[in-house]
Amino acid sequence: MYSLIKSFLFLMPAERAHHVTTRLLNTLSKIPGVSSILRAMFHRNHALLERELFGLKFPNPVGLAAGFDKNAEHLHAMQHLGFGFIEIGTITPKGQPGNPKPRLFRLKKDNALINRMGFNNEGTEATIKRLKNRPKNLIVGGNIGKNKVTPNEEAVSDYLNSFDALFAYVDYFVVNVSSPNTPDLRQLQDKEPLMELLGSLQKRNSEKQAQKPILLKIAPDLTNTQLDDILHIISETKIDGVIACNTTISREGLITEFSKVKAIGAGGLSGQPVRAKSTEVIRYLRDKNKELPIIGVGGIDGPESAKEKILAGANLIQIYTGFVYQGPALIRRINQSILKDIK
């Protein structure tokens, strides 16, 4: 059924198709009885699927990655599709429009997307208004970043502002310094600025009555030396884990015609082309640190690629591009496969 829906959606520009899909899902989920039908179709509940990580109990290991629901607009609808957790954002202190459109592109031959959204979001105040009415039984992570106009020298202030504002409304935080679509943002992954940023967030976290888990989202384009630095920083700052990985700036190995890729231009590549690299990063991190909580993301579009991430060392996984190409049945298929292997 989803293949027919996808055929229709893929006739539209990618960003417009996203908005049509999410609005339709929001509308359908409000019709009496539809939410029960969706849950019956897509949920797979079993005690063996439950995971406990950084003090939170996840009903299953399959989450929705940041970027899909930037402003917490779709939590009530998306919870019916079987996700074990949903990550909102990236959220910046002040709302911003992001980069000019078009800024989201499909590479159908590669089962991939290129985006240069640029942290388009409505800011913390608008997001909080929705989070006050968030589903009570859903784990929600808050992915935070800096505003485009904020220089890197003042980035810590932006992250602290969002951390303080969202603290009461999300279950864990993700520090995004790895998006390629905000100028110079990835420079914050360097050792000194990253130590300052994570150290400042942890200090603020320690001042709260009850602390929240803080994770770092990293790029798949880092060298092993840079990954070693990040592991050292994680150990020093005692943050709770890492999400590996964000989108890549690489265009290696694509099937799509070079001319089309060149015409699209800059942006982060996600989906199948980043699968191997993200798994490699996860395996490297796990080999270096047996206890580090890792959420794996990148190129997961079926049970095989999901289990690949888990075998490499991921405790939980997230999907986005695979969800676009495969539809909501993907979540149940992955959970069914994991459960079958456990049994």
Residue 193 — very low, low, confident or very high, per pLDDT cuts 50/70/90? Answer: very high
Cα–Cα dist 70/168, whole Å? 18
Give 133-142 pLDDT, tens digit per residue. Answer: 999 999 999 9
Q: Dihedral (C-alpha) 234, 138, 207, 188: value to the nearest 10 degrees?
A: 40
What is the C-alpha to C-alpha distance for residues 290 and 256, in angstroms, rounded to an integer? 38
pLDDT higher than threshold 90 for residue 343: no
Q: Is residue 165 a contact partner of residue 128, using CB atoms and an 8 Å limit?
A: yes
Q: How confident is the model at residue 1 (pLDDT cuts 50, 70, 90)?
A: confident
Quote the percentage of the chain above a pLDDT of 90.
98
C-alpha 238/C-alpha 214 separation (Å) is 9
pTM of this prediction? 0.97
User: pLDDT confidence of 300, banded at 50, 70, 90?
Assistant: very high
Question: Can you tell me the mean pLDDT for 2-25?
Answer: 96
**pLDDT digits 0-9 by tens, 209-266:** 999 999 999 999 999 999 999 999 999 999 999 999 999 999 999 999 999 999 999 9
Amino acid 134: pLDDT:
97
Tokens 């602390």 found at = 211
Cα gap 77→120, rounded to integer Å: 21
What residues are labeled active site? 179
pLDDT given for residue 185 in this prediction: 93
Angle at 80 between CA 96 and CA 47, to 5 degrees: 120
